[in-house]
Amino acid sequence: MAESNFVDYVKILCRSGKGGAGAMHLYRAKYVPKGGPDGGDGGRGGNVYLRANRNLWTLLHLKYSRHVLAGNGSPGGANRSFGKDGEDKTIEVPCGTAVFDANTGEFLCEVTQDGEEVVLLKGGRGGLGNWHFKSATNQTPRYAQPGEPAVERTVILELKLLADIGLVGFPNAGKSTLLSTISAARPKIADYPFTTLEPNLGIVSYRDNRSFVMADIPGIIEGASEGKGLGLRFLRHVERNAVLLFMVPADTDSIRKEYDVLLRELTAFNPDLQDKQRVLAVTKCDMLDDELIEAMKDDLPDVPVVFISSVTGQGITELKDVLWRELNNEENRVMTLTHRNLDERHRVEEEDNFDTGLERDESGDESGDDNFEEEDW
């Protein structure tokens, strides 16, 4: 497949900052011969944050910046001088991005609202200076705490587009044509399978200046849940949709059979998709007359069905009405999504095999070597 600017799955290395070491210092002055301990605390290591940004729609910027490294805290100084905190790092991602551990596949967090921010990795605490440990029986403590080590983790960022309606269908079912007809989106349209190689979003205008967002994904074929075709890679983008619009062309052998195949592939990918509201659009109906349409209604699934033609405009207004009604149904308005750990079948092999490497600090030591016990704190 040709290289695309749409990146929805990327593997990166994140590392928080080390905490600065506390200082071990005894105060000395001309007229204060026994000033006592005054070593300051070390600074906190920098955190790594994940923040949603509505101005981003792809993870392309992270594909060429694989390392996100927060700054280390500075050590404490004399006269109870606190060390400087390490610089925080923020990863800007599109709304709807989920984070998984690259090694175990464990779900870690997600951001869905613009400006939403979560702490992905917490920086190490700075060590306490020796002035904290003075007492009546230990007036000149000659030790201080080291800083907590950095936390390093390789994570997978997976983007799941936020849309109201998700288009589901076989290749050449008319999904891109419909999206270009009822929105300003201009996806590639041609008379061969898999014309769409990446998801497309379009804003559909409705009555009284209202609108909703529609997402088009590459066509699904039978066996997609087992890795066939391109649909499996992009099925994640319909997981957040409130309503799924199944599209089956009128010239297919059996509309019900094709509908059942699509539903089976979606259920195999994520069983939660079976609970989402579904609408069926029978496309390319400009080749049918009223008698044929009535005859076809006997072999349709038990879901709202609309016969449409994107070329002539037949049924487009009715389709918008049905979709709007289903979107405003209280049972469908909330886009629920149960996150599971990352399934091996759903991983992108070229990203999983990418070696992010192990960064070293300025002293040449690998991060995580200073494993201090909790009792040191």
- Pairing verdict, β 165-169 and 211-216: parallel
pLDDT < 50 regions, the chain: 1-2, 359-377
3-state helix, strand, coil in the chain (%, to 5): 25, 25, 55
Cα–Cα dist 92/5, whole Å = 17
Q: Is the distance from CB of 205 to CB of 195 less than 8 angstroms?
A: no
Cα–Cα dist 124/46, whole Å = 8
Q: Is the distance from CB of 121 to CB of 69 less than 8 angstroms?
A: no
pLDDT value, residue 368: 43
pLDDT value, residue 37: 92
pLDDT value, residue 115: 92
pTM of the model: 0.77
The string of pLDDT tens digits covering residues 273-303 is 788 888 998 888 877 777 777 777 777 888 8
The string of pLDDT tens digits covering residues 41-73 is 999 999 999 999 999 888 989 988 899 999 999
pLDDT value, residue 40: 93
Q: Is the distance from CB of 156 to CB of 9 less than 8 angstroms?
A: yes
pLDDT value, residue 371: 45
Could you give the 3-state DSSP secondary structure of residue 350?
Answer: helix
Cα–Cα dist 252/248, whole Å = 7
Could you give the 3-state DSSP secondary structure of residue 185?
Answer: coil
Half-sphere exposure of 311 (CA within 13 A, CB side): 7
Cα–Cα dist 161/43, whole Å = 39
